[in-house]
Chain A
Amino acid sequence: MAELTYREALNAAMCQEMDRDDSVFLMGEEVAEYDGAYKVSRGMLERYGDRRVVDSPISELGFTGLCVGAAMAGLRPICEFMTFNFSILALDQVINSAAKMLYMTNGQVPVPIVFRGPTGAALQLSAQHSQACETYYVHSPGVKLVTPATPADAKGLLAAAIRDDDPVAVMEGELLYNVRGEVPDGEHVIPLGVADRKRAGNDVSIVTHGKMVHVALQAAATLAREEIEADVLDLRSIRPLDVDAILESVARTNRVVYLEEGWPFAGVGAQIVALIQDEAFDELDAPVVRVTQADVPMPYAKNLEQLAKPSVKAVVDACKRVLYL
C-alpha cells in the first residue's frame, strides 16, 4: 500500500494498463505537453511518447468520434474530457456511435473505449462548468459507468474500465483529485458492478456514488453523534448496478436516502427509487427520500451555490425524515 492522491491513482491505472497493452492510448485536450488540465497524465508523454499520449485540438465531437473509430478497429482508447460538461458536444458519438455500434452490427464491432474526466461541480464555476453528467450516459443501453470516490477505487475501477470490452465512462471529480488515500501497489483491478460499503450501520441507508460519498460520510458522522448509525453504500458502478448490495442494505435498515450530485428529474436516484419499490417495497418502513442538486442551473454566487448543492445538513435532515424523527 502506498498513500497516493486520487490524481496519482488515476495516473497509476493508466500506466499500469499502457504497460501491459500497446493498444491502449490516451487522447484529449492538454493531456500530453501540459500534463493534463488537472495534471492527471503528468509524465505520461515522456514515458510513452506522442504516439500514445496525444494532444487533441479542441474538437470534442471530432476527437471522440476518432477515438470511437479507433476502438471499432480494435484499439483501446482512453478519451479524456477536460470535464464531462464539454462531452455534451460529443454525445452524438458516445450515444449514436459507441453505445449502439455493437448492437446494430449484430455483435461484429465492439467498442472498447474509456471516456474519462471530472463530472459535477467544483467551486464557483457556475452553470456551464458545474453539472453532473451521469444520467446522459447511463440512460443509453450499451454504455457502462463507474464513479470512483477514493484513490484506491480510482485506480482499480479505471483499470477495469480500460480492460472492459464495452464503452465505459469513468466520472471523476475536480474536488477529488487532491484527496489522499491508501492504494494497493502493483496490479489493482476492481470489477465493475460491485458496490462498496464505506460505513456500516443499521438505522438508515445512505446510498450514493462518486464525490457525494464524502458528503454521505460527513452526514453519517453527524448522525452518529445522535446515536443514529447510517449505512453508507457507495455504488461505485452505476451501470452495471450492484442491485444485491442495495437490496441487502434496504433489508437491514428499511429506510433509504439516495444522495446524488445531479438534478432530480430522471436522475440516477429516480432509477434507484424505482428499483427499490419494484424489488423491496415490503422492506420499506418509509418512502425513499432523494437528496440532489437543486433543480436549477448552478449559480455562481457563493451563497446560492451552497444552496444549490446537496449539503451534509440536507442529508442529515433526509435521514431523520425517513426515521420519522
Chain B
Amino acid sequence: MAQGTGTATTRMVDGFTRDELHALLFDMILYRRFEEKAEEAYAIGKIGGFCHLHIGQEALAAGSIKPLREDDLVITAYREHTQAIAKGISPGAVMAELYGRADGCSGGRGGSMHLFDTTVGFWGGHGIVGGQIPLGAGLAWAIKYRGGDQICVCFMGDAAVNQGAFLEALNMSAIWHLPVIYVVENNGYGMGTAFSRVSATEMEARSGACGIPAHTVNGQDVVATHRFFAELAERVRAGAGPQFVNAVTYRFRGHSMSDPVSGTYRSKEEVDSAVEAQDPIKILRDRLMDTGLLTQEELETLDAEARAAIEGAAEFADASPLPDPSTLYDHVYAEINEHGRLFLDGRGSQGGSHG
C-alpha cells in the first residue's frame, strides 16, 4: 500500500500500520515511565546500589528487541531495565527486582544490573563492562551446535568495544560464523569519557579487523531501527553470520543515579539540545501527529495506560515480600554433592558442625 493513502486506520508509514506504530509509541512511553518511576523510587531509598537509566535510549530497546522472536536470545550489560521489559519480562517483575524483592525476576539476588528470565530469552544483565560479549558468542555457539534457527543479540555500550573480550569474541564469532548480532548502544560516553577520546577510529571501524560487517542505525528513530533489525535478524537467521551494529543514541540522564545529568564532561547545552531534538518519543509522536495518525487524545490515552501499568508494577514490587533469609545459601551450587562440604564458613548448608 502506498504511503499516505487510505484512512487513518489502514494507512501505513514506512511499512508499519497505525496500530503497529501506536504499539511502538506505547512501548517507548512505558519504558520512559518505568525509568522515571525507578528514579523516584531510588530517591526515596526503595532501590539501592547502582542503577543506570535508559532514558533517551528507549527507541533502541523497542526497535531492536521487538522484531525478535520469543525464542531468540538477548544478552546485555547493566543499563537493561527497558530491554528486559521489551523482551517480555513484566514491568512488575523488573521493578520488584530493583526493589530487591522475592518476586523480582532474579529473586532479589541480582538487582538492577542482573535481570534475568531465560524463559523469555532474556539472559541478563551483566556488570563487568564487556563481560557479556563472549557469553553472547557462547549462546550463539550453543544455537549453532544444536542446529537451531534462533539468533542471539548481544548489546554493549560504546566503552565496551575497548575491552579485549570484544575483539576475542568477535574474532571467534567470525571464524565460526555464529548467528549473533553485536549491538553497540553508542550513547557517546562511557561514564564521563567521550568515545572519541578513547578510540582512534570511528565505531564502524571496530569490527572490521575481524571481518564482521558494520552497520550504523539512528537509534533515536524507532521506525528506522525496527525496520533495520527486522531485516538484519532474518538475514542472520538465514545464515549471514555475525553482524556489528553501531546504534547511535544519547543518554538523557547521568551515568548512574549519583552522576548529574550534565557537568564536568558534557555541557548543559549539549544535553538540552539532545533532549530537544533527539527524544525518540517526541520524534515518533510528532511524525504520527504530522501525518494524522495520532491525535492528542490518543496520545493521552496511551500515556495514561503506560502510567497505570507502571503504577501497577510499583504496587506489585511494594507488595512483594523480601527474599526469605533461609534462602541465603540457595543456588550457590546447582548440585550439592553427596560427599564432602562445599561451604566452610560454618553457616551454609553442609557448613559444618554448626550448620
Residues in B whose Cβ lies below 8 Å from that of A186 = none
- List residues of chain A with CB within 8 A of the CB of B227: none
Which listed residue, B168, B337, B343, touches A63 by the CB 8 Å rule? B168
Bound-state Cα–Cα, A71 to B109, Å: 21
Specify which chain B residues have a CB less than 8 angstroms from the CB of A51 in the assembled complex. 145
Contacts of A25 in B (CB 8 A): 145
- On whether A191 and B338 interact (CB within 8 A), knowing A51-B145, A102-B331, A106-B107, the answer reads yes
Closest to A105 in B: B116
- Asked if A165 contacts B335 (CB within 8 A), the reply is yes
B110 at the interface (CB under 8 A from A): yes
Report if A104-B110 is in contact (Cβ < 8 Å); known contacts: A59-B168, A72-B135, A74-B142.
yes
Contacting pair A141 B142 (CB below 8 A): no
For chain B, the count of residues having a C-beta within 8 Å of the partner chain is 56
Instruction: Find out whether the CB atom of B346 lies under 8 angstroms from the CB atom of A278.
Output: yes
B134 in the interface (beta carbon within 8 A): yes
Determine if A191 and B339 form an interchain contact, defined as CB atoms under 8 angstroms apart. yes
Q: State whether the Cβ of B344 lies closer than 8 Å to any Cβ in chain A.
A: yes
- Given that A92-B131, A191-B339 are contacting pairs, would A72 and B123 also be in contact in the complex, using a CB cutoff of 8 Å? yes
User: Which B residue's beta carbon lies closest to that of A141?
Assistant: B332
Say yes or no: is A304 at the interface (Cβ < 8 Å to chain B): no
Residues of A within 8 A of B135 (CB): 65-66, 68-69, 72, 93, 97
> B329: nearest residue on chain A (CB-CB)?
A141
Query: Distance (Å) between the CB of B174 and the closest chain A CB?
Result: 10
- Chain B residues with CB below 8 A from A105, complex form: 106, 109-110, 114, 116, 118, 124, 331
CB distance from A29 to the nearest CB of B (A): 12
B340 to chain A, nearest CB (A): 2
Residues 103-156 of A at the B interface (beta carbon under 8 Å)? 103-110, 112, 141-142, 144
Tell me if B164 is interfacial: C-beta within 8 Å of chain A. Answer: yes
The answer to whether A69 and B142 touch (CB under 8 A), given A59-B172, A142-B333, is yes
Docked complex Cα distance between A92 and B168 (Å): 14
The reply to whether A62 and B331 form a contact with Cβ atoms under 8 Å apart is no
Contact B334 A241 (CB under 8 A): no
Instruction: A65 to B124: give the CA distance in the assembly, Å.
Output: 14
Closest to B164 in A: A61
Is A61's CB under 8 angstroms from B134's CB?
yes
Q: How far is the CA of A65 from the CA of B130 in the complex (A)?
A: 11
Is B342 at the interface (CB under 8 A from chain A)? yes
Contact B138 A67 (CB under 8 A): yes
Please indicate which of the listed interface residues A68, A103, A109, A271 has the most CB atoms of chain B within 10 Å of its own CB. Answer: A103
CB distance from B264 to the nearest CB of A (A): 29
Residues of A within 8 A of B352 (CB): 243, 278-279
Chain B, 107-154, CB within 8 A of any chain A CB: 107-110, 114, 116-118, 123-128, 131, 133-143, 145
Q: Is the CB of B339 within 8 A of A193?
A: yes
- 8 Å CB contact of A62 from B106, B171, B350: B171
A73 within 8 A of B: yes
Also in contact, A241 and B106, with CB within 8 A (given A109-B116, A141-B332, A142-B333) = no
Interface status of A166 (Cβ within 8 A of chain B): yes
* CB-contacts of A1-60 with B (<8 A): 25, 51, 56-57, 59
Contact indicator per residue, chain B 163-187, by CB within 8 Å of chain A (1) or not (0) = 0110111011001000000000000
Query: How long is the Cα–Cα vector from A96 to B134 in the complex, in angstroms?
Result: 13
- How near does chain A come to B21, taking the closest CB pair, in angstroms? 34
B residues within 8 A CB of A71?
A: 138
When chains A and B are docked, how far (Å) is the Cα of A188 from the Cα of B228?
53
Q: Does B273 contact A (CB under 8 A)?
A: no
How far is the CB of B114 from the nearest CB of chain A, in Å? 4
The residues of B that contact A106 with a CB separation of less than 8 Å are 106-110, 116, 331
Q: Which residue of B lies closest to A193 (CB)?
A: B340
Chain B residue nearest to A235 in the complex (CB): B340
Is B137 a contact of A69 with CB atoms below 8 Å? Answer: yes
> CA separation between A50 and B106, bound complex, in Å?
36
CA gap between A166 and B140 in the complex, in Å: 21
Q: Are B109 and A62 in contact (CB under 8 A)?
A: no
Q: Find out whether the CB atom of B131 lies under 8 angstroms from the CB atom of A56.
A: no
C-alpha gap A59/B165 in the complex (Å): 8
Q: Which residues in window 69-113 of A have CB below 8 A to B?
A: 69-75, 92-93, 96-97, 102-110, 112
Whether B164 pairs with A243 at a CB distance below 8 angstroms is no
Would you call B341 an interface residue if the criterion is a C-beta within 8 Å of the partner chain's C-beta atoms? Answer: yes
Task: Report Cα–Cα, A170/B249, bound state, in Å.
Answer: 45
Q: Is B9 an interface residue (CB 8 A)?
A: no
Tell whether, in the assembled complex, residue A243 and residue B340 are in contact, meaning their CB atoms are under 8 Å apart.
yes
Q: How far is the CB of A104 from chain B (nearest CB, A)?
A: 4
Kindly state the separation between the CA atoms of A271 and B135 in the bound complex, as whole angstroms.
Answer: 32
CA distance A73 to B167 in the complex (A): 22
Q: Which of A97, A103, A165 contacts B131 (CB 8 A)?
A: A97
Contacting residues, chain A, for B116 (C-beta < 8 A): 104-106, 108-109
A253 contacts B by Cβ under 8 Å: no
Interfacial residues, chain A to chain B (CB-CB below 8 A)? 25, 51, 56-57, 59, 61-75, 92-93, 96-97, 102-110, 112, 141-142, 144, 164-166, 191-194, 237, 239-243, 271, 274-275, 278-279
Sample of 20 A–B contacts (CB below 8 Å): A66-B135, A66-B172, A69-B75, A69-B136, A71-B138, A96-B131, A97-B126, A106-B108, A106-B109, A107-B107, A107-B330, A107-B331, A108-B116, A109-B123, A110-B334, A141-B342, A144-B337, A193-B339, A193-B341, A243-B352
Beyond A62-B169, A66-B135, A243-B352, 9 extra complex contacts between A and B, CB < 8 Å: A65-B138, A66-B141, A70-B141, A110-B334, A112-B334, A141-B342, A194-B340, A237-B340, A271-B344
